[in-house]
Amino acid sequence: MRGTVLGVVATERDRVDPGIVSCTHCDLGSMAFCAGLSTQQFRRFMSVLGQSSFAPATTIFREGDPQQYLYTITAGSVKLYKLLSDGRRQITSFLFPGDFFGMSIDDNYAYTAESLTTVVVCRFPQRKLEHLFDELPVLEKKLLGATTQELAAAQEQMLLLGRKTAREKLASFLVMLRRRLSERGDGQALFFLPMSRSDIADFLGLTIETVSRTLTGLRREGLIALPDVNHVAIMRFDELVRISDGA
């Protein structure tokens, strides 16, 4: 039998190293923000942790709102976007379990976060989490890693928007999704698209018509299959990679 303490579950590994615990709030394993904490560290960590859930199409926070929490996704998916004064929208990221969001360079959120599906998050009050860093430097290191990943993703997005054709953009988008799912242990060729065609267009800087036409073209070439509007199957992944790289 497995013993539990304060939302902590002891695994087979814990019997070998009883000082390391796994959180029962999610099944992300080493991808969880709290992964690798000892029992004592986890108890301290739990003092600032909260959980929230959001229905699909719920605004979690808006651009310009005072920054209160940092979030990490344990289930579901989220989109981040910015709005121009005329209402045009640029989606900057699609986020999945294990991803962090809510970071800001000042005291206000720099973008709007909205749930694509039913979403469960762990949330941490910004100030209380900062106070924990001296006690638990591993958390500061993980937050720095999340910030670095965010910067790398922003650089990829600039390349995507500035230099690639519509066909290369769609190929890059599908390759990105497949790789993200593979990181989480889901290597299936067929996967769920939580975002709409409009969302994809606003992420890639295209029109909805161009997204639909380009996806249809990739399907006719036998590179992908589209069983329905919410699913895609990648049939020739290596060829999509070559297209995304501009070959």
Confidence (pLDDT) at 95: 93
Confidence (pLDDT) at 23: 62
Confidence (pLDDT) at 10: 34
H or E segment at 121? strand 119-125
Domains and CATH numbers, the chain: 1-47 (no CATH), 49-157 (2.60.120.10), 164-244 (1.10.10.10)
Sign of the CA dihedral with 141 first, then 142, 143, and 149 last: positive
Residues forming beta bridges with residue 121, ordered by sequence position: 52, 73
Confidence (pLDDT) at 64: 94
Instruction: Give pLDDT tens digits along the chain (247 positions).
Output: 333 233 333 333 333 344 444 566 677 777 777 777 778 878 888 888 889 999 999 999 999 999 999 999 999 999 999 998 888 899 999 999 988 899 887 889 999 999 999 999 999 888 888 788 877 787 777 777 777 777 777 777 776 776 789 999 999 999 988 888 777 666 567 888 999 999 999 999 999 999 999 999 999 999 999 999 999 999 999 999 999 887 7
Sign of the CA dihedral with 48 first, then 128, 93, and 57 last: positive
Confidence (pLDDT) at 211: 96
pTM score of the predicted model: 0.80
Closest Cα to residue 224, out of 241, 211, 236, 210? 236
Closest Cα to residue 91, out of 166, 161, 170? 161
Confidence (pLDDT) at 144: 78
